[in-house]
Amino acid sequence: MSDTPPLLVRLDALSKSYYEAGQEKCVLEAVDCSIGAGQFICLLGKSGSGKSTLLNLISGIDRPSGGGVHIREGGSEVELTALNEHQRTLFRRRNIGIIFQFFNLIPTLTVLENVALPVELADGDRKGHRRAEDLLDRVGLGDRLDSFPDRLSGGEQQRVAIARALIHDPVLLLADEPTGNLDEGTGDAVLDMLLELSRDAGKTLIMATHEEDIASLADAVYFLERGQLVSHYAPAANEVNEADVVQAQGRAENSAAVQR
Q: Which stretch binds ligand ATP (CB under 6 A): 7-15, 44-52, 125-133, 212-220?
A: 44-52
Strands 228-233 and 66-73: unpaired
From the list ligand ATP, Mg ion, none, partner contacted by residue 47 (C-beta under 5 to 8 A by kind):
ligand ATP
Q: How far apart are CA 156 and CA 2, in angstroms?
A: 38
Examine residue 228 and tell whether it contacts ligand ATP (CB under 6 A). Answer: no
Examine residue 52 and tell whether it contacts Mg ion (CB under 5 A). Answer: yes
CB 116 to ligand ATP: min, Å:
29
Closer CB to ligand ATP, residue 18 or residue 102?
A: 18
Strand order in the sheet with 172-176: 96-99, 172-176, 204-208, 40-44, 220-225, 228-233
Return the HEC string of 23-36.
EEEEEEEEEEEEEE
How many residues bind ligand ATP, per CB under 6 A?
Answer: 12
Calculate the alpha carbon distances from 94 to 59, 83, 91, 208 in Å.
11, 14, 5, 22
DSSP 8-class letter at 55:
H
Examine residue 114 and tell whether it contacts ligand ATP (CB under 6 A). Answer: no
CB 251 to ligand ATP: min, Å:
19
Interface residues toward ligand ATP, by CB under 6 A: 18, 20, 25, 27, 45, 47-53
Interface residues toward Mg ion, by CB under 5 A: 51-52
